[in-house]
Amino acid sequence: MDRERAEQLVAALRDREVMAHLAELGVYEYAVRVVLPDGEGEAVWDSSDALGLEAEVLQDGVLIGLVPHVPGSERMTEDELVAAIAATEYDPAGLHPPTDADDPPRPSPPTPPPPVRPVTDAPAPAPAPTPDPEAARGPKRHWWSRHTGSSTN
């Protein structure tokens, strides 16, 4: 909700004797903080055009419940929004308890990198064999094969 709208809602709620204050949620994000009677905590009312009106109920900064979405609040006038906030009873039985589904999704833990294998000193590759000069000449013939022949006696 923008600041001007939140300030108008706070002023109208104070006119109805509701202890309301401007709450800054973030950069250019505002809400209406209502102090609950008997010091039981506070309700932070947020309204957006698309999502409508809803509240988180906090006690000592801890979320203890939610006021569920007010049906039709996305089309309500400011007077109707003020009336809805002022008429809300913060009875713990009527609050919607917070659940894991209400929390924003948590990012999954990063996957660990694959294990790194240590670099070992690999043996040097064997040198290429040198050609044998004798083998390069061709098949070897034994001396007796060259000298055998027919002998005439």
**Contact yes or no for 96/90 (Cβ under 8 A):** no
The single-letter code of the amino acid at 29 is E
pLDDT in tens, 87-97: 888 776 666 66
pLDDT in tens, 22-61: 998 888 889 999 998 777 789 998 876 567 888 888 888 8
Q: Which residue has the higher pLDDT, 147 or 81?
A: 81
Triad 35, 23, 79: Cα angle to 5°? 75
pLDDT for 150: 53
**What percentage of the chain reaches a pLDDT higher than 70?**
60
pLDDT for 97: 60
pTM of model > 0.95 = no
Cα pseudo-dihedral 95, 101, 107, 111, rounded to 10: 140
Given a cut of 90, is residue 11 above it in pLDDT? yes
